[in-house]
């Protein structure tokens, strides 16, 4: 129960009690002289208020840590979501580039096919002209044969 022994002015030794010891004492155990002289009640009240304030600050710190942890988690989730979106956009960009290459290739192939079609059309026109020429020759020869035949028949008659 004695934390310290201390000499006072009169040479007497008195006991000095801790605040916990005063918490355990009943009011009638504490003399009014000691309370008045030392001001222990006010000191105990201040200590209690300080402890409450410290508890409150500790609770605030705990809440701030929880909020920070939640914020860090939210930021990390957003970061992951943004990275995923970026990857998707990169894939879309690659797809668009591939499609553009494919369209360019198709355009080139279509142009080649059109050129071939034009060549084929030119060949067809040439062949048609040649066939028309052959047809004229055949018609001319047929007319000649017909005239010869008619002239022979008229000679025979």
pLDDT given at position 127: 93
Element (H, E) at 14: strand 13-16
The pTM for the full model equals 0.46
Q: State which residues form the domain around 8.
A: 1-38
Distance CA 120, CA 123 (A): 5
Instruction: For residue 22, tell me if it sits in a domain.
Output: yes
Domain count, the chain: 1
Instruction: For residue 147, tell me if it sits in a domain.
Output: no
Residue 135 main-chain phi, psi, to 5 deg: -60, -40
Q: Look-up: residue for tokens 């989730």?
A: 77
Instruction: For residue 100, tell me if it sits in a domain.
Output: no
pLDDT given at position 50: 95
pLDDT given at position 32: 56
Q: Where are the alpha helices (DSSP H) in 14-39?
A: 19-24, 32-38
| Contact between 23 and 37 (Cβ < 8 Å) | no
Distance CA 42, CA 27 (A): 14
What parts of the chain have a pLDDT lower than 70?
Answer: 1-38, 157
């Amino acid at each position: 129960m004695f934390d310290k022994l201390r000499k006072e002015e009169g040479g007497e030794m008195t006991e000095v009690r801790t605040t916990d010891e005063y918490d355990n004492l009943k009011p009638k155990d504490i003399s009014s002289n000691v309370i008045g002289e030392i001001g222990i009640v006010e000191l105990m009240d201040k200590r209690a208020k300080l402890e409450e304030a410290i508890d409150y600050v500790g609770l605030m710190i705990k809440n701030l840590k929880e909020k920070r942890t939640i914020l860090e988690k939210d930021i990390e989730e957003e970061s992951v979501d943004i990275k995923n979106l970026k990857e998707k956009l990169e894939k879309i960009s690659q797809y668009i580039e591939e499609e553009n290459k494919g369209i360019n290739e198709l355009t080139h192939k279509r142009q080649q096919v059109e050129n071939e079609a034009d060549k084929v059309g030119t060949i067809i026109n040439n062949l048609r002209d040649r066939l028309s020429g052959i047809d004229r020759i055949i018609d001319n020869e047929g007319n000649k044969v017909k005239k010869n035949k008619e002239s022979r028949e008229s000679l025979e008659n």
